[in-house]
A and B are shown apart, each in its own frame.
Chain A
Amino acid sequence: GQQLNQSPQSMFIQEGEDVSMNCTSSSIFNTWLWYKQEPGEGPVLLIALYKAGELTSNGRLTAQFGITRKDSFLNISASIPSDVGIYFCAGQLLRIGANSKLTFGKGITLSVRP
Chain B
Amino acid sequence: DAGVTQSPTHLIKTRGQQVTLRCSPKSGHDTVSWYQQALGQGPQFIFQYYEEEERQRGNFPDRFSGHQFPNYSSELNVNALLLGDSALYLCASSLLGEAFFGQGTRLTVV
A interface list, Cβ under 8 A from B: 1, 3-4, 31, 33, 35, 40-45, 48, 50, 88, 90, 92, 94, 98-107
Bound together, the chains give a CA A114 to CA B86 distance in angstroms of 35
B11 at the interface (CB under 8 A from A): no
With A43-B43, A107-B42 in contact, is A99–B48 under 8 Å at CB? yes
Bound together, the chains give a CA A45 to CA B92 distance in angstroms of 11
Contact with A along B44-59 (1 / 0, CB 8 A): 1100101000011011
What are 26 sample pairs from A and B whose C-beta atoms fall under 8 A apart? Answer: A4-B42, A33-B98, A35-B101, A41-B104, A42-B4, A42-B90, A42-B101, A43-B43, A43-B101, A45-B98, A45-B99, A90-B42, A92-B97, A98-B55, A99-B94, A99-B99, A100-B48, A100-B56, A102-B35, A102-B45, A104-B44, A105-B42, A106-B41, A106-B42, A107-B41, A107-B42
- Once the chains bind, are A1 and B44 in contact (CB under 8 Å)? yes
The size class of the interface chain B forms with chain A is: 20 to 34
B61 at the interface (CB under 8 A from A): no
- Once the chains bind, are B98 and A103 in contact (CB under 8 Å)? no
- Chain A: minimal CB distance from B95 (Å): 8
The closest CB in chain A to the CB of B97 belongs to A94
Bound together, the chains give a CA A43 to CA B90 distance in angstroms of 9
Q: Which residue among B33, B45, B90, B94 has the maximum number of chain A CB atoms within 10 Å of its CB?
A: B45
Chain A residues closer than 8 Å to B55, beta-carbon distance: 98
Chain B residues closer than 8 Å to A105, beta-carbon distance: 42
B103 at the interface (CB under 8 A from A): yes
The closest CB in chain B to the CB of A4 belongs to B42
The closest CB in chain B to the CB of A42 belongs to B101
Query: For window 88-110 of chain B, which residues contact chain A by CB distance below 8 Å?
Result: 90, 92, 94, 96-104
Chain B residues closer than 8 Å to A42, beta-carbon distance: 4, 90, 92, 101-104
Contact with A along B76-92 (1 / 0, CB 8 A): 00000000000000101
With A3-B42, A99-B96, A101-B56 in contact, is A44–B101 under 8 Å at CB? yes
- Chain A: minimal CB distance from B29 (Å): 10
